[in-house]
Copies of this chain bind each other. A is one copy, B any other.
Amino acid sequence: MKPVTLKQIAETLGLSVATVSKALRNYPDVSEKNKKLVNDLAKSLNYVPNPSAVNLRTQKSKTIGVIIPATVHHFFSNVINGILEVAEKEGYLVILMQSNENYELEKRHVDLLINKNVDGILMSLSNKTNNFSHIKKILDFGIPLTLFDKISKSVNCSKVIIDDKTAAYNAVTYLIKKGHKKIAHFRGDLIPQNSIDRFLGYKQALIDNNIPYDASLVFMCNNNNDFKDGYNAAKILHKNFGDSVDAIFCITDVVATGALKYFRDNSIKVPEDIALFGFSDWFMSSVITPTLSTVHQPGFEMGKESAKILLDEINNKYKGKTVSYKTVVLDTKLVIRESC
């Protein structure tokens, strides 16, 4: 079974390919009679235009590319979900690629997508990405780009983010209001904006509440295995500070879960001995013991919003409108559970 082509329809109807094409696209200069004839036959044969031919001709592919650091991630799965929902509604296909937090791979993926002629690109940067020539290349090719979550401020394009700093600030402030005084921070890598902003929010909250910032209370979790990182950081913290630290603000729920595991292994009670605050609101956080307080990060909405903005930009580009970049900041909220 082979797909039906315009030519076949034209031949069986004794018309020219041109007329058939125009009839299908409802051009005004085709007789109603022929329009009906063509459309009826097309429908009965399940005619669908060959996308490669259309793409070659129109330079549009009805396809968008998505590059994310990792799929096995509650947050990103939700983002993908949101993207797929919007794309599907608008008839766009989604090519998914994964950088595995690897800059070189991310670069290769970008090249592939450009070559593949995608209409637009949606992207969340890897933690290791600190050079943006590949991103600039996307823009040079005039391909609409929307960055989400892991963005870079130095790239000029539309962005969808949360206010990491404020979210972190609110979380830490909550801990302080609850009476915690010596609050550690398990932070992420130095490069990603998220990681920086959450750290800054943590610091600011301390300062605004007259708690001196102590750099030795900040632990790096950047070995690409959040759970272990959290476990190890908790171990070191415990070794260095005994039980003098009374709360930890963690960069992600998984880091917090790792810490939790260490504390349980060592009979340290959460939240009695030490309080824990996570970030992201993975499903897991609502079912572990104790349930984890965290910052809810709207992954699904982020995916939807990013896709909408991108498709808008694509449409405007095709209409010849000038595009203006926008940055959308989505709301987060604190989810208070048992761990603090």
Contacts and interface: CB of A to CB of B under 8 A. Distances in A.
22 contacts: A1-B142, A48-B115, A50-B56, A50-B117, A51-B115, A51-B116, A52-B52, A52-B56, A52-B61, A71-B71, A71-B80, A71-B81, A71-B84, A72-B74, A80-B96, A88-B97, A94-B96, A95-B95, A284-B284, A284-B287, A288-B288, A289-B289
A29 interface: no
Copies in the complex: 2
Interface of A: 1-3, 48, 50-53, 55-56, 61, 63, 71-74, 77-78, 80-81, 84, 88, 93-98, 111-112, 114-117, 140-142, 227, 257, 260-261, 264, 283-284, 287-289
Contact of A287 (B112, B114, B261): B261
Contact of A84 (B1, B97, B111, B288): B97
5 nearest CB pairs, A to B = A289-B289, A52-B55, A72-B77, A48-B115, A284-B284
A281 to B, nearest CB: 13
A117 B77 contact: no
Nearest to A283: B284
Contacts of A50: 56, 117
Contacts of A93: 95, 97, 112, 116
Given A80-B71, A80-B96, A140-B1, A51 B117 contact: yes
